Structures are given as C-alpha cells and as structure tokens.
Structure 1
Amino acid sequence: MHIDFDRICFRYPNSAGDLFSDLSLRIAAPGFHALFGPSGVGKTTLARMLTGAVAGFSGAIRTEGVRQVFYTYNLERLPGWSSVREHLAETTPTANRTRMEELIAACGIEACVGARFNRLSMGQQNRANLVRYLLQDFDVLVMDESLANVDELTREKIILKIKALFPERCFLYISHNVAEVARFCSQILILRGVSKAPQIVSVQGTDLAQGAAPPPERLERVMLEIVHAA
C-alpha cells in the first residue's frame, strides 16, 4: 500500500495566493500516521483531496492497494431519530458486526449507546461517530480532529486499540497535539506554509504500541524535530 501526492498545486477560488505549491509526499505503508501543522496551512484540504472531495488542483494523487478512503471529522453529525446502537447496527456491514461491541467498549461509550445521538456530549458524539467508521470496510481512514473533546487517557486507549485491531489499515490522524503525534504515530507529515520549501516535512514518530513506552529522551527528540520542522 502507498499513497503519493505528486507536485500538487492548488488555490481556492478568489484566494489571493496558492495554498499548495509543488507539494509532494508519500505514505508508504499501513499504520497510524499523522498530518500535523498550524491552523490554516491546508491539512483538511489535503486530506479531502485524498477522498476526492476537493478537486481543481494540478499534479496527481496516485495510490496502490487503496480502494476505499473514508474521512471522519470533529462534530460530524449522525441522525438523531434513532439510538446510537440502532444506527450502528443499521450501518455496519454484516461481516463486521461481531466487532461492534468491542469497539463500543474501547471507545468508552457503553453507557450512552442506547441514547439518541443529539443527547450525547460532544466527546461522546465524536467517539460514536468514530466507531461507525471503524466498523466499515476501508483501506484508509482520515481522522480529522476526530477525538477532540475527549480526555487524554481515553484518547490514548482508543488510539492504541485502533492500532492493535487494524494493523493492516492506514490511518491519517490530524491533530495539533505535538506529544500525541510523537508518541502514537509512525510517519508524521508536517505541513507548513506555502512560503516554506519543502512545504511538507516527514518525521519518524515513536509509534507507541500497547504495553510499550518509548524512552523519554527519544520522545523528547521527536517532539523537538516536529516543532523545529513546523
């Protein structure tokens, strides 16, 4: 599996300047990867290009071993007229239903799946929505601030469970949390302003797995690399 962005150039209509100029990157393997950078540099736009939701750019996006890309984001809505459990049961492919309870538990929403979506807190809504996507048949899942409004310990539990359950899938995790992407992600793609060259820099994260902890000095070194690159 790999994903290549080759010399991408893009600007929004009526914009004063380019958002991307000759941007190239490669995600070369399955795993839990990150797209990191300050607000406004185009992280969401770049991710939505991968899904096909943003067009009108020059250059090319090429993939191998990728058939289905899904995109989940902070505060995405679900229909409010049925319970979360009913909605999950209705939208989950039959072959994946045996995993539903495990993912509900991993995301810590057992106590609220009987409620309607609009009765949940923002953090519960984000977790319920993430479970819905994890139960689909996907090759790549973009998680655009999908765990916002979720406490740090719960986010860690969810990310580690995702990595354990889906080692053959590719995740692109968009976050502003330096320590989080340094700890949990394998390849960290740091997107910078269009005036900087190269516009994207790759840093190797510590790729923390369940039951392991990176040496503090290694984690600190990766965090410094990220900050300096940004």
Structure 2
Amino acid sequence: MPIIRCDNLRYRYPESEALIFNDVHFQFQRPGFHALFGHSGAGKTTLARMIAGEISGYEGRITFDGIQRIFYTHNMERLPNWASAGDILRSTTPTAFLELLDRLIAIFGLQSCLQSRFGRLSLGQKNRINLTRYLVQPFDALVLDESLANVDETTRGVIISEIKSIFPQRCFIYISHNMLEVSRYCDEIVILRSAPKTPQVVSVCGLNETGAGTAMASKPLEAILLEIAHAT
C-alpha cells in the first residue's frame, strides 16, 4: 500500500468558482525523498498543505499508511529576530535529539552563525536554521516547500544527500523550481499541471542520487529532464 495516496481530489479556493484541482490522483509508494514540481501557480503549495492537514474542504481522499505525524515547512517562516540562532535551536529541540542537532549543525554549516541574532542572518542561513528545527522533531513525513531557497547549489546537494542518509525510513516531499536538482535527488516526482490539462498530474521517476557533487551529463538524467519538460 502506498504511504501517501491522493484520490479524485477536487478543490477551489474560497470565493473562487474555478477549480485549481480537478480529479487529481497520485501516490508516493515508499519512504524516501520525493518531489512536487510544476510551474508557479500550479498549486504545489496548496496541495502540500492539503497533504499536511493545513487545508480542508476539498473533495476526494488523502490516505496514509504508517504516517501519523506530518509537518509542513516553507522558506517564508520567520523566527524571533532578537533571539540567537543557537538559542532558537536548543530551545526547540527535544532532549533525545540534541546529538542529532549537533550533527545537523555541522552538516548544514551553521556553526559560525549560532551566536548571531536570527534577524541578522542571511536568507539562506535563516532557511537552514528553520529546516534544522523541523528535522530534530519526531515526524514521519516532512514537506519542504522551497526550504533550501537562497542556499548555494553545492550546500543544497550536501544537505539533501545527508537528509536521505540520516532519515532513510522517513518521507520527504520537496518543492523546488530547480528541475535538475529534482531530477537528480528525488525518487518519485509528481508534476502538477494547470487544471484544464488532462491528466492534471504526471508522475516521473527521478535518479534518486545519494551523493552530492557536480551534476554530470548522462542519458538517464537527460531523459528525465526531457520527460519533465514535456509533462509541464
């Protein structure tokens, strides 16, 4: 049974007559690092929030197998500007996960900014701090909505690879506009298209790479990129 399954989803924004989703159905088969991909305005964030339980009032069903705690994080979350990054992380981390926190701080390259006030950090640093505080919570699935925006490509690759290594039995749903990144690192890629298109969702298998590094041209990667481009 798929760990996340969406069947016949229909949804329109409040006070809107137009459907944003019309008979959407897809599934994520297994734990891993997956993706929601599509043009701006396709409804990626809305669908992610529906999966996370933050939006209701839709028709259809979203079912889970083995997933009880699902969180949604995005790149616009802001924490108290006056608090230090280190205090924010320590105060929100359960005692059982303090060792994991230290490991993530090192992997994410956050040591140098722990004493700085959150408001003085760059956007990339803020996003890494925010993502870290979610990763040290007990969760079964985590939606990352542009959570690595403003982080350089090399660091993003390292972070994604380490997340996949540390949490092999968790489910991640990654939202990004970077087609190459999604193609390389994600397993199941769900492509959202505008509501008039049928089907509105197309699923593509990514390379699901486990190591960071410079992307090398290859026929499998080129085939995935072409398939995504045609689908969108």
- State the alpha-carbon separation in 2 of the partners of residues 62 and 137 from structure 1: 20
- State the alpha-carbon separation in 2 of the partners of residues 43 and 136 from structure 1: 24
Decide whether the 8 Å contact of 2:158 with 2:212 is kept in 1. Answer: no
Aligned match of 2:171: 170
- Deviation (angstroms), 1:217: 1.1
Matched, 1:194 2:195: yes
Aligned match of 2:105: 104
Question: Residues 15-55 of structure 1, C-alpha deviation per residue, up to 9 Å, x if partnerless?
Answer: 24100011111111100001000011100000000111111
Large movers: runs of 4+ above 4 Å: 211-215
Q: How many residues align?
A: 230
Q: How do residues 67-216 of structure 1 correspond to structure 2 at under 5 angstroms? A: 67-210=68-211, 216=218
Q: Return closer, same or farther for 1:52/1:85 CA change in 2, 3 Å cut-off.
A: same
Matched, 1:26 2:34: no
Decide whether the 8 Å contact of 1:208 with 1:214 is kept in 2. Answer: no
Decide whether the 8 Å contact of 2:9 with 2:59 is kept in 1. Answer: yes
Question: Residues 81-115 of structure 1, C-alpha deviation per residue, up to 9 Å, x if partnerless?
Answer: 32111111111111111111110111111100111
- Deviation (angstroms), 1:11: 0.2
Aligned residues: percent identity?
52
Q: Which moved more, 1:104-113 or 1:206-215?
A: 206-215
Aligned match of 2:228: 226
Q: Return closer, same or farther for 1:75/1:21 CA change in 2, 3 Å cut-off.
A: same
Decide whether the 8 Å contact of 1:75 with 1:125 is kept in 2. Answer: no
Decide whether the 8 Å contact of 2:4 with 2:28 is kept in 1. Answer: yes
Q: Which moved more, 1:210-219 or 1:57-66?
A: 210-219
Letter in 1 for 2:208: D
- State the alpha-carbon separation in 2 of the partners of residues 141 and 75 from structure 1: 16
* Secondary structure, counterpart of 1:147 in structure 2: coil
- State the alpha-carbon separation in 1 of the partners of residues 143 and 76 from structure 2: 14
- State the alpha-carbon separation in 2 of the partners of residues 132 and 222 from structure 1: 33
Decide whether the 8 Å contact of 1:164 with 1:210 is kept in 2. Answer: no
Q: Which moved more, 1:46-55 or 1:204-213?
A: 204-213
Letter in 2 for 1:39: S
Letter in 2 for 1:178: M
- State the alpha-carbon separation in 2 of the partners of residues 211 and 177 from structure 1: 15
- State the alpha-carbon separation in 2 of the partners of residues 21 and 98 from structure 1: 45
Question: Residues 130-162 of structure 1, C-alpha deviation per residue, up to 9 Å, x if partnerless?
Answer: 111111111111000000011111111111111
Question: Residues 53-102 of structure 1, C-alpha deviation per residue, up to 9 Å, x if partnerless?
Answer: 11110111111100111111012111223211111111111111111111
- State the alpha-carbon separation in 2 of the partners of residues 211 and 180 from structure 1: 10
Decide whether the 8 Å contact of 2:97 with 2:136 is kept in 1. Answer: yes
TM-score of the superposed pair, with normalisation by structure 1: 0.96
Decide whether the 8 Å contact of 1:75 with 1:122 is kept in 2. Answer: no
Q: RMSD between aligned alpha carbons? A: 1.4
